[in-house]
Structure 1
Amino acid sequence: MKDRKKPAIRFKGFTEDWEQRMVSQLFKVTRGYVLAATQTETEKTDEKPYPVYSSQTKDKGLMGYYKDYLYEDAITWTTDGANAGTVNYRAGKFYCTNVCGVLLSNEVKANQMIAEALNNIAKRYVSYVGNPKLMNNVMADIVIQMPIQVEEREQLSLFFTNIDNLITLHQ
């Protein structure tokens, strides 16, 4: 960002400064729960309709489908292992395993824009002593730049979602 309070390129109609906020000021920081892969299905069914996300990055972390969900419309990140620090926005209801941290909407609504902002910097905070880790307390202290206006965050989220969808289409 050019003058550190505003990005150089913006959507029309947005001129306000961006702000720096700590993750803990924006979200409730928590994590998923243990779930054996044998309890999931590889395909979505009426009995197991909810996606389960794990620490893997294949298929954006999709491990399978399960009968229950834990969260809805939240941001997850990989807490342990080779992919520690990988951040994703999860739209809809989902379950995630214990190696996923979760950011639940509190002060602001979780969305793709905030997930992308975190994904750009989260790896810098991973501890590489032994098994790589990005624990909840460290994630909570990360500071990101973000638009003050909700409308600008939503427009950026839609932009990133559309790009992701185009990439998926062409793979």
Structure 2
Amino acid sequence: MSTEPPSTYRLASAVELTGPGIRLREWTDADLPALVDLFDEVETARWTPLASPFDAEAAREFLAKSRLARAEHRSIQLAVTVDGGAPCGVVMMFLGLDDRHDQAELAYAIGAAHRGRGLAAKSVRLMTDYAYQVVGVHAVGLRIPPNNAASIGVARTTGFVRTDAPTIVRDHRGSPLTLEMWLHRRLP
């Protein structure tokens, strides 16, 4: 049996992950109004590539792109909830990190009304475990701006370590956004 990771992964058509005080579930069309409430705010616009303003059209596009990426086995985007009900945010896993097929990249956004409750860290832990145990990757990365103290705190809390990889700069609404790489490696 080969120990080489597969070059492509097959993602389940439906995923639900549960941990203490958190449940990650699939998005539904009924979540469209909640998406607008969660993501049409200043901090989400500041740190994420989500549309701003984030209106009903942006919510529909978000769900459509999420479903297409899953169907193409490129990513999983789950609603962050406390009990499976109303969404509090999103956590995403993108397969392949810097063209490394044995790694995944995570991203997340928690709505303003739900911050400070540990939901980001719980989401990252659950999705990291899923990436290792079910998908079979060997490392998981987060790209974080060096001035995003909240996300750096989540990275540290969940066992990610800042790497010495060169920073990357992405266009963010017409301005440069510098991102540092934080990595979590699967324990043997």
TM-score by length of 2: 0.28
Higher relative contact order (CA 8 A, sep 6+): 1
Higher gyration radius (CA): 1
Give the TM-score of the pair, scaled to structure 1. Answer: 0.30
